[in-house]
Amino acid sequence: MALTAEVLGMLSFTLLTFWGLATWALVRTLRQEGRKVEILRHQDRMDTYSPQALAELREWIDAHPDDPLADTARERYNECVETLRQTDSHFYDWSDREIANLERL
Amino acid sequence: MADASTKTARAEWGTRFGFLMAMIGAMVGAGNIWRFPYVMGDNGGGAFVLAFLVLLFLLAVPGLMAEVALGRYTNKGVIGAFREVVGRGGMVGFGVIVLLVNIALMSYYSPLIGWTLYYAVHSLLFSFTAAGFEAEPFMEGLFANSALMIGLHTVVMGSIAAILILGIRRGVERLVVYAVPALVVALVIMTIRGLTLPGASEGIAFTFGVQWEFLLRSETWIAALGQALFSTGLGWGIALTVGSYLREYDDVPLGGGVFTAIGESSIGILAALAIFPVVFAVGVAPDAGAGLAFVSLVQVFPEIPLGGVVAILFFVGFFLATFTSGLLITEVSVTTIAEETRLDRTQTVLAICGGIWLLGLPSAYSADILDFLDFVFGNWGLPLATLAIIGVIGWVLGPERLRLLAVNRNAGIYVGKWWDPVIKYVIPLVMLFIMGYFAWDNFREPEMIAGMLVIVLFPIIGYAIMSVLEGRGGHPDAADVTGGDD
């Protein structure tokens, strides 16, 4: 029985989508892990938020200053800001200008 | 009693790969091997794949991110994580629901692992390719032999206890980093063997043929929904527990969400490619469940060249898939009980495994009891556990807080605001729908009545237990340490 183009197309799509995506995620996360290990070999801590995620955390803290978890959020924000200022290698794509513009809360 | 000084540091995964394989090992179980391929072929093939993919990204990926993040945020097992979110009191009992469901699930899953162990051993003895072998009487003989079934159940729980006693890193991680790749390799070799057989294309056409009209049928979406939620183990406490052992700078959403959901589904796809070309090449009718693994496939092996070796690959791989799931399901209770009591890890493992062994005796004694419990907990118990975990994140902790404080912290991918309503509204509504749908579909059946009892009694039991325990301060000071090997 010869397979139709539709069946072959769906087989290819399924393999690419599932195995392709799973392989991409595995390789990406393992490479990121390698980079984190490399950074931590030279310094004892590392930035914990991407610029976008840190900006969103800041917005949330400003909007919810009395939230029960606001102190934890502030701690995490400040921890990231301090680390960015005090370390040379960063995991996320931070520019010097972005770091200079950050302030502790 | 545990020496308080030993409870000072919590275990962690030794490597990123170890964490990822633990997630996959936990989530890939019998359903991926003996259910997914048939459900896929029976529900429109490619059309089912599309429906499944949509639901995977809409529900399973965000849900797993949430559950892993809760474990990582609290660094606690199920009950500790609930306490951290809801505060001390009876409401912590909703964590007990998850624990009870896990113990119930493992009580009937252990005998099932015993079946796969039995077939794996017989594959190594080349029983299936021996002259005069008959698949159906062989399977019926196993199910009718209660002593053998109980013996297998005992061996399985004993083996799980032996590995769990070694701890997270020296026990669980050391096994899964080999077992999961071995399962994948076994299925790949079986796929190559199957695809090179004459007539294999019919199996491919059955599984991947596209019947678009199935996308308009509610049954397709219900089947895809069940597969997306149950196959990924969302909300069973496993992802929470595995996530609680993450290291300081580990990512949650890429590994715990995307890779876990897509990776474990990929193994289901691979199983379809490994099984149905072989089944169709020999002209055996496709099936699902025990009928597929223990009858159809077993009939196929003597008919194909190198069938004895293919049988070894399949059944050893199948055993590894179920065993690693059983290991992590049991770890949920071990982690939690070790934290909540003054027992050390060894004592906890022995108590939990002993308890599960005892509760599993009826399921080991009778496959009918196992089927009944599987139906009741699969349709109502597990969705209830999912509802408890996702409900506490969505409605008490708040998805936005968790996303900002844990999901996007050290993350490999950024998770945006779209995630919040999925956790708060979509997943809880879907779980309520599933429970309601199956109740309506099995109205007044004994399974439905048992399911309703689970839905009503488990929360009451959980609330009552924790009200009493929390009220009298039965929570030890050194409660946040488990894992056994750090």
Interchain proximity B404–A60, CB inside 8 Å: yes
What pLDDT, on a 0 to 100 scale, did the predictor assign at position B4?
A: 40
Interface test with B, best of A28, A33, A60, A77 (most B CBs within 10 A): A33
What pLDDT, on a 0 to 100 scale, did the predictor assign at position B6?
A: 46
Residue B298 CB partners (closer than 8 Å, separation 6+) = B119, B128, B135, B138, B139, B311
Per domain, the residue ranges of chain A are: 1-42, 44-105
Interchain proximity A60–B400, CB inside 8 Å: yes
Q: B-contacting residues of A 85-104, CB under 8 Å? A: 91
* Helix H or strand E encompassing B484: none
Residue B485 located in a structural domain: no
The answer to whether residue B246 scores a pLDDT higher than 90 is: yes
- The verdict on A27 touching B (C-beta cutoff 8 Å) is no
Q: Read out DSSP for A75-105?
A: HHHHHHHHHHHH-S--SS---HHHHHH----
- Write out the residue range of the structural domain in which residue B312 sits: 13-471
What ipTM goes with this model?
Answer: 0.95
Averaged pLDDT, B424-439: 93
Please count the structural domains in chain B. 1
Buried b (16+ CB within 10 A) or exposed e, B194-232: bbebeebbbbbbbbbbbeeebbeeeebbbbbbbbbbbbb
- The verdict on B351 touching A (C-beta cutoff 8 Å) is no
Instruction: Please identify which residue in the block is written with the tokens 């700078």.
Output: B249
Q: Distance between CA atoms of B77 and B335, rounded to whole angstroms?
A: 6
Structure tokens at B237: 């406490």
Chain B's closest residue to A75, CA to CA, is: B405
Interchain proximity A14–B210, CB inside 8 Å: no
The answer to whether residue B2 scores a pLDDT higher than 50 is: no
Chain A's closest residue to B400, CA to CA, is: A60
Per-residue pLDDT band at B287 (split at 50, 70, 90): confident
Higher pLDDT, B297 or B334: B334
Of B84-98, B176-190, B217-231, B417-431, which gets the smallest average pLDDT?
Answer: B217-231
- For chain B, how many residues are written? 486
Per-residue pLDDT band at B282 (split at 50, 70, 90): confident
Residues B100-132: tens digit of each pLDDT: 999 999 999 999 999 999 999 999 999 999 999
Q: Which amino acid is it at B248?
A: E
Chain A's closest residue to B202, CA to CA, is: A1
How far the first Cα of chain A sits from its last, in Å, is 69
Q: Distance between CA atoms of B236 and B243, rounded to whole angstroms?
A: 13
Per DSSP, helices labelled H in B366-471 are 367-376, 382-392, 399-402, 419-421, 427-441, 446-471
Residues B165-217: tens digit of each pLDDT: 999 999 999 999 999 999 999 999 999 999 999 989 999 998 899 889 999 99
The answer to whether residue B481 scores a pLDDT higher than 80 is: no
Across chain B, mean pLDDT equals: 92
What pLDDT, on a 0 to 100 scale, did the predictor assign at position B476?
A: 47
CATH code where residue B349 lies: 1.20.1740.10
Interchain proximity B414–A73, CB inside 8 Å: no
Residue B223 Cα to chain centre, angstroms: 17
Higher pLDDT, B350 or B306: B350
Interchain proximity A50–B401, CB inside 8 Å: no
> Which residues on chain A are in Cβ contact (under 8 Å) with B203?
none
Per-residue pLDDT band at B8 (split at 50, 70, 90): low
Q: Which amino acid is it at B322?
A: T
Interchain proximity B405–A10, CB inside 8 Å: no
Q: C-alpha distances in angstroms, B222 versus B31, B193, B376?
A: 16, 33, 17
Structure tokens at B431: 């779980």
pLDDT along chain A (105 residues), means of 10: 89 96 98 96 95 97 96 97 96 96 91
What pLDDT, on a 0 to 100 scale, did the predictor assign at position B477?
A: 44
Give the distance from residue B124's alpha carbon to the nearest chain A alpha carbon, in angstroms: 30
- The verdict on B339 touching A (C-beta cutoff 8 Å) is no
C-alpha closest to that of B477 among B3, B2, B4: B4
The answer to whether residue B3 scores a pLDDT higher than 80 is: no
Q: Distance between CA atoms of B263 and B267, rounded to whole angstroms?
A: 7
Per-residue pLDDT band at B5 (split at 50, 70, 90): very low
Give the distance from residue B188's alpha carbon to the nearest chain A alpha carbon, in angstroms: 12
Of A31-45, B285-299, B363-377, which gets the smallest average pLDDT?
Answer: B285-299
> Which residues on chain A are in Cβ contact (under 8 Å) with B262?
18, 21-22, 25
Interchain proximity B208–A10, CB inside 8 Å: yes
Residue B478 located in a structural domain: no
Q: Distance between CA atoms of B171 and B316, rounded to whole angstroms?
A: 20
Taking a C-beta distance cutoff of 8 angstroms, is the pair B483, B8 a contact? no
Chain B's closest residue to A67, CA to CA, is: B401
